[in-house]
Amino acid sequence: MNTSVTAPVQLHGLAATRLRLRAIARRHAYVLLRSPHRLFDVTLWPLVDVLLFGALAQFVGNGDPSGASQAAGYLLAGIVLWHVIYQSQIALSTGFLEETWTRNLLNLMVTPLREVEYVAGVALFGMVKLVLGVGVMVLGALVFFSFDTWSLGFGLVPIAAVLLLVGWAVSLFVIGLVLRFGSGAEALAWGVMFILLPLSGVFYPVDSLPALLQPIAKLLPTTHAFAALRDLVDDKGLNWVQVGIAAFGALVMVAIALAYLTRMLRMFRRRGYITRYT
Amino acid sequence: MAPEVVLAARGLVKDYRRARAVDGVNIVVHRGERVALLGPNGAGKTTTLLMVLGVVSPDAGDVTICGYELAKKRSRAAQCVGFAAGYLPLTERMRVREYLTLFAQLYGIADPSPQIDEGLERFRITDLGDAMGTELSSGQRTLIGIVRATLHRPRLLVLDEPTASLDPDVAMRVRTGLVDLSDEFGCALLMTSHDMSDVERVCERVVFLSHGRVVADAAPREVAARYGTGDLESVFLHLAERHEAAAAQQSDHP
């Protein structure tokens, strides 16, 4: 054999963690760039949502400029911020599902990659998709309906941060379900958000929901985040109380989702579920 | 001085539902040693490997790799191990070089180009660097998988069926490459295979499993002699017959 034996220089500690995070993020960038149909999730569907809800706002406020403006505020700001949860959730969930679809899970699990590093790497690239998707929506709302999302001010930032956390919490829970129940639970990656959507009062106050559902809705951090968003639309400034409740609820959700995921991962190892993906 | 122990698996037990897949397996592998884990289908080979890799947790027993207890220091232990299996596909939508870079970085190698070139050259597949994973034959995928598993110079290389469904030329390249790797940097091998001639050519020690238990652990010739046969193939067939008979008896008397 004519090969020279070159000992590789291996990084350790934080430097190795950073390298692994970047490697996972880059791996998912390849997936997106080399499967153009996936760009639909990030660009086309968000734009379709802007058109749908923007047109609805025009119709609802027909003949009344102030009514149209308020409806546009509620509906367009609502759908743009909804996509913060949706895109962050779907990016992380489908990122993990990609490993199961391509039977890459075993390859990854035998490396020094830690679970938290994997999740952080996928979430990191998910942020890129999120910026792209929400950017398209903000631009679409401005071009088609003259609605400037940024006119709502920097109060949007803490609200978006809370929604981002909720999106990640939901996807951690979905990953836990897939680890436990296998590919059958995949449908939840997309479906679970549609349970959250009506209950969170994205476009309306939760008082509009049936009385039976209102107590459930009020438990959701998303409900308080969107209530804070409507205050912004109504020029009432940032409602820190609502944002605080939402942030606390989001952190509780993340903690519960992490505990569930850890438990499911332990079960995955104990029951040898890896054989489903080999 | 005794050679360094790179793998010590003690008293491994694994139950799946009502069946015991692995029943008190002990395996110790030393630096540079080439060991085959053999046995009929269902003997517990793959489950044992998955426990050694930390992907399946044992119901009893423990695994130590290069001094790191797997249950407590999985990431550190994994740093010392490489794994490849003939049945695992390559990640789609990535070129071979991108794929190898990804895995090298997961092992903490920031610039793996020299190791990638060396690995591709070792298995005579330098022309595949720019190919997409989906364009490769199963033999090429196996070779790339082994290159991936050895980029970080593991002290223990675990291989599940590395030569399964390969043509003789590629199988020979795999065998030669593995022996070279082991000789050049003292990498220990733990491999499963159903091809006894492969095992005789690569491994200096065989561990036979039957019904999840170690029934023989010695040099190939020694094991063959113990069973009164001339080669491993006959030992394998003998054990497979016993395995089937026991399974049939079990299904008659549940």
The answer to whether residue A9 sits within a structural domain is no
* Beta-carbon count within 10 A of B61 CB: 16
> Does the distance separating the beta carbons of B78 and A8 come in below 8 Å?
no
The answer to whether residue A8 sits within a structural domain is no
3-state SS record for chain B: CCCCEEEEEEEEEEEECCEEEEEEEEEEEECCCEEEEECCCCCCHHHHHHHHCCCCCCCEEEEEECCEECCCCHHHHHCCEEEEECCCCCCCCCEHHHHHHHHHHHCCECCCHHHHHHHHHHCCCHHHCCCEHHHCCHHHHHHHHHHHHHCCCCCEEEEECCCCCCCHHHHHHHHHHHHHHHHHHCCEEEEECCCHHHHHHHCCEEEEEECCEEEEEECHHHHHHHCCCCCHHHHHHHHHHHHHHHHHHHHHCC
The answer to whether residue A142 sits within a structural domain is yes
Residue A83 is part of which domain span? 14-277
Q: Chain A: nearest CA to B228, how far in angstroms?
A: 36
Q: Find where tokens 């009432």 sit.
A: A236
Domain boundaries, chain B: 5-252
- In the predicted model, is pLDDT for residue B235 greater than 90? no
Predicted confidence (pLDDT) per residue in B167-187, tens digit: 888 888 889 999 999 998 899
Q: Does B78 touch chain A (CB under 8 A)?
A: yes
Predicted confidence (pLDDT) per residue in B199-220, tens digit: 999 999 999 999 999 999 999 9
Question: How many structural domains is chain A composed of?
Answer: 1
Name B29's bridge partners: B7
Q: Chain B: nearest CA to A256, how far in angstroms?
A: 24
The answer to whether residue A65 sits within a structural domain is yes
The answer to whether residue A1 sits within a structural domain is no
CATH of domain B5-252: 3.40.50.300
- In the predicted model, is pLDDT for residue B195 greater than 60? yes
**What is the predicted pLDDT for the residue at A1?**
47
Q: Chain A: nearest CA to B121, how far in angstroms?
A: 7
Residue of chain B whose alpha carbon sits nearest to that of A27: B102
Q: Which residues, other chains included, contact B241 with Cβ-Cβ below 8 Å and sequence gap of 6+?
A: none
- In the predicted model, is pLDDT for residue B239 greater than 90? no
Burial state string for B35-52 with b = 16 or more CB within 10 A and e = fewer than 16 = bbbbbbebbbbbbbbbbb
ipTM: 0.91
**What is the predicted pLDDT for the residue at A216?**
95
> Does the distance separating the beta carbons of A269 and B91 come in below 8 Å?
no
Of A1, A10, A272, the CB nearest to B180: A1
pLDDT tens by residue, chain A, 278 residues: 445 556 788 888 999 999 999 999 999 999 999 888 888 888 999 999 999 999 998 888 775 666 667 788 899 999 999 999 999 999 999 999 999 998 899 999 999 999 999 999 999 999 999 999 999 999 999 999 999 999 999 999 999 999 999 999 999 999 999 999 998 888 887 888 889 999 999 999 999 999 999 999 999 999 999 999 999 999 999 999 999 999 999 999 999 999 999 999 999 999 999 988 88
Say how far apart CA A102 and CA A197 lie, in whole Å.
30
